[in-house]
Structure 1
Amino acid sequence: MKLMGKLCLTAVLTLGLLQPGVSAEATGTDFSSNCTKYGVLKPNVNPSFQHMNCLLTNAALAADIPPEVVKAVATQENGKWQQFGIKPADSGIGLMQVTNYPGYSKEKLKNDVIYNIDAGISILSKKYDSNVPKIKGAGRNIIENWYFPVMAYNGIKPVNSPLIKATGKKNIKAYQEEVFSKIVKDSLLKSANLAQFPFTTADFEYDPTSNQNIVFRKMEYSIKDLHPTVYQFKAGNRVMVTVDSVKVRVHPDTTKSAKNVGKNTVLLVRGNFVYSKNSANQFVWYPVRTADQKIKGYISSAYIKKL
């Protein structure tokens, strides 16, 4: 997290919103225990990509945050998803680039990846609960509803204004815009129309020459075609294919394919998601079948939505 985020978070902690007495040990056990099949965490050794993917995903689900959001924040903060052997950015620590705020142990933030993930996610979750704009009728499961909490994770400063005040154009270099572009790239279709807020410059009051917080003049937005997280499908759920043609794979990877299914094909989810055997992929795979059971296999979470 950059300095601008630290200033905001210090104020939040002063108000007692982060409950600093709650440690990672209190919440980390459950989400990490789901990932033991990927290996045992060792001191000063970075977990594998799959292991880290599992840790971030389960920690996000435990905190009721879309894993797509958490993983994109981790990528923005730490592109290689490493806890150890990285050069800190602006005194940020570890995978989630957390700073040693009151209530957090600097040594644990450095040496305990579970503690570091838990701290970063706790901060992000509190940002959702803070006084930032939301989407009308949307809850925590909607990816777009995390636009402003993600902004606040880094800092509600002029540099992160969604629009450039002088021109009214989208500020593509804003922290949250970069995070959301990573969600599209790594978790959704590259053509996904994500975070299309109807912003106007009147929505934000700030002095672009200062480092004072932005004042939000509009606290609620109406957006159609929102994107719920795709990590909550269960066995028995029906989903629909969102692209013209996609392969249902024999295994949860791209090495072999079964048959193509077309857009709007209804599939039945057969069980929980699994992680890709291809370590470069952040998305997950769902075991599915067609209603007539003629096609059965795995489909990428990027190509389906709940029916």
Structure 2
Amino acid sequence: MKKIVAVFLLFVGVLMVVPKQGGAEDSQELNFQEKKALIAEIAVAEGIPPEILIAMADEESDFTQFDETGNPYISDDGGIGIMQITLTDEDLAKYGYTQEEISWNIEDNIHAGALHLKSRWNNQDLPQINNMDPEILENWYFALMAYNGLSRVNDPTENPNAYQEKIYRVLRDNFLLSIEEFPPIELRYEEGSDIIYFPPGVDYEWDMANTYSRQILLETGQTVYTYNDDLDFSYIRDGVDGNRLNKTLPHNTRLEILEGPFAINDSFKHYVYYHVTDGNQTFYISSSNLVQEPAAFLPNVDQSILPDPKEPIARLHIKREGVQFLKKEEFGEYVPVDEREKDEFLRVYYTEGSYFNVGGEYYIKQDLNKVVPYIGRILIESETKMYAPDGSEYKSFGKGHALRVYSFDENNYHVGGGYYIKNTSNVKFYKGYVTLLKDTPLYSPDGNVFEEREQGIAYRVYDIEGDKILVGGGFYFKNNDLVEYNIH
């Protein structure tokens, strides 16, 4: 970054060269589109999600490098430029910069801010979140707190407007990302001090930390899927600044990235657009409508085809408080009856639009931040690799391990968080288990009784065909009052 850098701006199709030498002749502000593209390029180069660095520039300075007189923008607390750098000469020198460079050169200012954030990310004294995957936006929580300062003003238990909380507010409001509120954290103060320190060895396992960057990973040729939390479909356009098309796309529509990302020349809208194809036509879609794996939605089932379903097709995990238990009234209105408890599990019999039917006339609204359906498990029969969202090998599992499955396609079983297991002979998918309530005949594939099995034993269920509960090798129990089936 210390040399002249050529930044290709896809959205304007020109080559922008940022001069290295600082001075008044370099004090012309770039437009919002150019700034966001430059921030994104630097972020990707440093392994930071572009959303994080762009949100910081928004919160720090409203993307301002120079004031109305053309001089470097310096705030009342001495923060310089777009990233509001307040480092000493000595600290800046560690990153290879001087005060003059970050004052007069916007690229240097952004890069110094990125390096400072990265140093906080690498600070082993800060709590760790899950596996600290840098592509997950929530995992930057403590690095952002430390970037602004580990002081009482950034204690979220005392100040709801702590710096890191404001950054995630930008991600929710300006990137249209469904990031949940953060759980409580533990922090301490020395007596008489406002400096935060963290209890040693206290790290966090947060289920809600699962929002992957939608700008750092998407590349030409990559397969993506449509999904958003607010609507049952996604809008598409005929260009980055084009018109909205009449056609909409249902959730889990498979697309291929053709070009992008394309930034928007807007101070508020920070999501980007991609040029994509569904195999039939090409169009543009915003990053807020794209995910890297199919969402854990179950197939819509027409109630007239399945008016009184006997067996569940999935199990629903209530992850958060506040999930409403709904009753469908005569005219199709879903009316709250009560709320379900966190970590409760419900059987799902079919889906109806955006609602899970959990028995009779009762429903739970689909919201992947609060409820997660899973459709079965895979049993590892010989050593098998799990793959990360980027396709790299993550870890191996030996024989006997069982993993929950949230969705699958012909090639992979999706086991949560973008991770997957390949569909090979090394694994076997099963839906649930059947428990024998009384001594029950086991039938062979030819339909004859093979032998009597004892009451109380449970068997894995690999499929259900009519009144047959298949338990492997073509053998089955009849689905009657002698057995009880449960989805896994």
Q: TM-score, normalised by structure 1?
A: 0.79
Which residue is 1:54 aligned to? 37
CA distance in 1, matches of 2:221, 2:7: 25
- Can you list the C-alpha shifts for 1:15-72, whole angstroms capped at 9, x where unaligned? xxxxxxxxx405x72xx52348275556111111111011101000000000000011
- The DSSP-based 3-state class of the residue aligned with 2:291 is strand
CA contact (8 A) 1:34 1:58 kept: no
Within the candidate set 105, 108, 112, 2:105 is matched to 112
Q: Which whole-Å deviations, capped at 9, do the CAs of 1:145-169 have from their partners, x for residues lacking one?
A: 11110100001112211323xxxxx
> Which moves more between the two structures, 125-134 or 250-259?
250-259
In structure 1, the residue matched to 2:320 is none
Give 1:287 shift.
1.3
- 1:283-302 equivalences in 2 (<5 Å): 283-291=271-279, 293=280, 295-302=281-288
> Shift in Å at residue 271 of structure 1?
2.9
Aligned to 1:236: 221
TM-aligned CA deviation for residue 298 of structure 1: 0.7
Within a 5 Å distance, the mapping from 1:254-269 to structure 2 comes to 254-257=242-245, 259-269=247-257
CA distance in 1, matches of 2:266, 2:82: 21
C-alpha contact (below 8 Å) 2:235/2:244 kept by paired residues: no
164, 170, 184: which one pairs with 1:176? 164
* Aligned residues of 1:161 and 1:214 also touching (Cα < 8 A): no
Paired amino acid for 2:222: N
Matched, 1:157 2:133: no
Separation (CA, whole Å) in 1 of partners of 2:41 and 2:118: 14
Q: Check 1:51–1:280 CA distance in 2 against 1; reply closer, same or farther (3 A cut).
A: same
Larger radius of gyration: 2
Q: Summarize the Cα distance change of 1:209–1:77 in structure 2 as closer, same or farther, 3 Å threshold.
A: farther
Task: Return 5+ residue gaps in structure 2 as ranges.
Answer: 19-24, 68-72, 294-488
> Is 1:185 aligned with 2:154?
no
User: Matched residues in 1 for 2:258 and 2:187: separation?
Assistant: 46
Quote the Cα distance in structure 1 between the aligned partners of 2:112 and 2:169.
24
Q: Does 1:33 align with 2:7?
A: yes
Which residue, 266, 274, 291 being the options, matches 1:305? 291
**Deviation beyond 6 Å, 4+ runs, structure 1:** none
How many equivalent pairs are there?
267
| Structure 1 stretch displaced more, 112-121 or 93-102 | 93-102
**1:93: which partner in 2?**
80
Q: 1:217 Cα deviation (Å)? A: 4.8
RMSD: 2.3
Name the residue aligned to 1:199.
184
Query: What is the letter of the counterpart of residue 300 of structure 1?
Result: S
The answer on 1:219 being equivalent to 2:182 is: no
Q: CA deviation at 1:87?
A: 4.2
Task: Give, in whole Å, the separation in 1 of the partners of 2:184 and 2:249.
Answer: 37
Query: Secondary structure in 1 aligned to 2:14?
Result: helix
Say if 2:262 is the partner of 1:274.
yes
Structure-2 change in CA distance of 1:100 and 1:126 (3 Å)? closer
Aligned AA for 1:107? E
Instruction: From the two aligned structures, give the one with the greater helix fraction.
Output: 1
CA distance in 2, matches of 1:63, 1:39: 20
What residue in structure 1 maps to residue 65 of structure 2? 83
Q: 1:218 Cα shift? A: 5.5
Deviation at 1:279, TM superposition (A): 6.1
Structure 1 portions without partners, runs of 5+: 1-23, 165-170
Hey, what's the Cα distance between the residues in 2 that align with 1:69 and 1:277?
18
Q: Deviations over 1:119-165 (max 9, x none)?
A: 1110001100012112112311110111110100001112211323x
Identity %: 28
Whole-angstrom CA distance in 2 between matches of 1:223 and 1:115: 35
Q: Which has the higher contact order (CA 8 A, sep 6+)?
A: 1
Q: Return closer, same or farther for 1:227/1:271 CA change in 2, 3 Å cut-off.
A: same
Structure 1 Cα separation of the partners of residues 214 and 80 of structure 2: 29
Find the aligned partners of 1:179 and 1:215 in 2 and give their Cα distance: 21
Indicate if the aligned counterparts of 1:158 and 1:213 stay in contact, CA closer than 8 A: yes
Query: AA paired with 1:261?
Result: L
Distance 1:144 1:120 in 2: 19
Deviations 1:156-200 (A, max 9, x none): 112211323xxxxxx4211100111011111233xx134x44325
Separation in 1, partners of 2:206, 2:184? 11
Q: Residue type of the partner of 1:155?
A: G
Q: Tell me the SS of whatever aligns to 2:249.
A: strand
Distance 1:218 1:89 in 2: 37
Return the alpha-carbon distance in structure 2 between the equivalents of residues 237 and 271 of structure 1. 10
The 3-state SS of whatever aligns with 1:150 is helix
Matched to 1:106, the amino acid is Q
Contact 2:126/2:198 (8 A) holds in 1: no
Cα distance, 1:256–1:198 mapped onto 2, change above 3 Å: closer
**2:28 aligns with one of 22, 25, 45:** 45
Q: Tell me, in whole angstroms, the C-alpha distance in 2 between the residues paired with 1:53 and 1:172.
A: 27
